[in-house]
Structure 1
Amino acid sequence: MHTTVSLITDILAAAPPPEPPAAPASLAQVIENIKGWVMGLLAAIATLFLVVGGLRYIAAGGDPAQVEQAKGNFKSACFGYGLAVLSPLILKALQSIVGTGL
């Protein structure tokens, strides 16, 4: 009769070995992946600021301090969307400075 430990050991022994993670094709592919992540992250954060600003503006009830905070959130959202749009150009400039030749 198998105990639980020996049963687990038998299952692990029969399992195929894990495959190593796939290596990136090239440095250009790594930079493209990073660019996609950066653009998505910036757009998500900007959307969060836009939503928070909208909620603050709705909940302000005429309070000038709350309205100013909401406007600040809208400005931050616009800045974030601008960075997300310009991130390919920023990365291209960094590539030319670093000299990766991509």
Structure 2
Amino acid sequence: MFRTVVRVVVAVAVAAGLLLLPGAPAYAADPVPLAVNDLPTVIANLTSTVTTLLAAVATLFLTIGGFRRVTSGGDPAEVEKSNQALRSAAIGYALAVLAPVLLTLLKGIVGS
């Protein structure tokens, strides 16, 4: 049953992601040339993207860990699996908090 729930959650997440992505028009009258951003802009965009992805994955692990804990029925193996998922969520949130710091450090090393 748990695998079915995980598959449904993943399918809904993928479908929502595909629906929320901005679509390009089927045709373009004037093609827009791609512009290369400067390094600080690229790092700022990267910081935002990495933080968002880490927080989303950590939230998914938090949800899975909570679901496993609630449905474990006291089974020690399931409780341990839920603890592992909750630990992974905590690590994900910690990395999401540290991502801007690490990318700012990278910006300082590379130079801007």
TM range (shorter): 0.7 to 0.9
Q: CA deviation at 1:89?
A: 1.1
TM-score, normalisation: structure 1: 0.76
Q: What is the percent sequence identity of the aligned residues?
A: 47
- CA–CA separation in structure 1 for the residues paired with 2:88 and 2:66: 12
What secondary structure sits across from 1:78 in the alignment?
helix
Matched positions, count = 86
- CA–CA separation in structure 2 for the residues paired with 1:24 and 1:43: 27
> Which residue identity lines up with residue 108 of structure 2 in the other structure?
S
Structure 1 residues 87-96 or 42-51, which shifts more? 87-96
In structure 1, runs of 5+ residues without a counterpart are: 1-11
- CA–CA separation in structure 1 for the residues paired with 2:29 and 2:92: 46
Q: CA deviation at 1:72?
A: 0.6
Are residue 16 (structure 1) and residue 29 (structure 2) matched?
Answer: yes
TM-score, normalisation: structure 2: 0.69
**Cα RMSD over matched residues?**
1.8
Q: For 1:50-65, what aligned pairs fall within 5 Å after superposition?
A: 50-65=62-77
In structure 2, runs of 5+ residues without a counterpart are: 1-26
